[in-house]
């Protein structure tokens, strides 16, 4: 398993503002927030890109979504709404190769995203 910035956040070898944690999922504030709330939700197991998600990951991907739902409700943004985004590879502008869902909330989102 290759080490990434996010595996170092999981093992606490680099710091992050952790806002959500359960057995399988970690959520922490993005260092360069693009909205009043910008949290990165990651599985604790390493999956490099969206392309690498396999049927064996069904459970953890569901857990990722459940964690986001719990957090959105906890901070009172579930009814207002939010955006979740997963970037993949170069055209998607993925920079960290451990899948992560960007959770953006607290302002009106725009479309197209650019
Ligand atoms: P990507 O571009 O791969 O979809 O998203 C990577 C995200 O990680 C970016 O939004 C970037 O701001 C964030 N990021 C990069 N380095 C760090 C860091 O050291 N700590 C935290 N919390 N976020 C980071």
Catalytic residue among 24, 38, 65, 100: 100
Superfamily of chain region 5-105: HIT-like (3.30.428.10)
> What is the SS3 string spanning the chain?
CCCCHHHHHHCCCCCCCEEEECCCEEEEECCCCCCCEEEEEEECCCCCCHHHCCHHHHHHHHHHHHHHHHHHHHCCCCCCCEEEECCCHHHHCCCCCCCCEEEEECCCCCCCCC
Specify the pairing of strand 37-43 against strand 82-85. unpaired
60 Cα to the center of ligand 1, angstroms = 21
The finding on whether 28 has its CB within 6 A of some atom of ligand 1 is yes
Which tens digit of pLDDT belongs to each residue from 1-14? 579 999 999 999 99
Give domain limits for the chain.
5-105
pLDDT tens-digit profile, the chain (114 residues):
579 999 999 999 999 999 999 999 999 999 999 999 999 999 999 999 999 999 999 999 999 999 999 999 999 999 999 999 999 999 999 999 999 999 999 999 999 998
The finding on whether 45 has its CB within 6 A of some atom of ligand 1 is no
């Amino acid at each position: 398993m290759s080490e990434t910035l996010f595996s170092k956040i999981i093992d606490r070898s680099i710091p992050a503002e952790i806002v959500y944690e359960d057995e399988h999922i970690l959520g922490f504030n993005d260092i360069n927030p693009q909205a009043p709330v910008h949290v990165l939700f990651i599985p604790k197991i390493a999956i490099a890109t969206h392309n690498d998600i396999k049927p064996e990951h069904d459970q953890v991907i569901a857990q990722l979504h459940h964690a986001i739902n719990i957090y959105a409700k906890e901070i009172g943004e579930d009814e207002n709404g939010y955006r979740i985004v997963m970037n993949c590879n170069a055209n998607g502008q993925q920079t960290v190769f451990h899948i992560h869902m960007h959770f953006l909330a607290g302002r009106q989102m725009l479309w197209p995203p650019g």
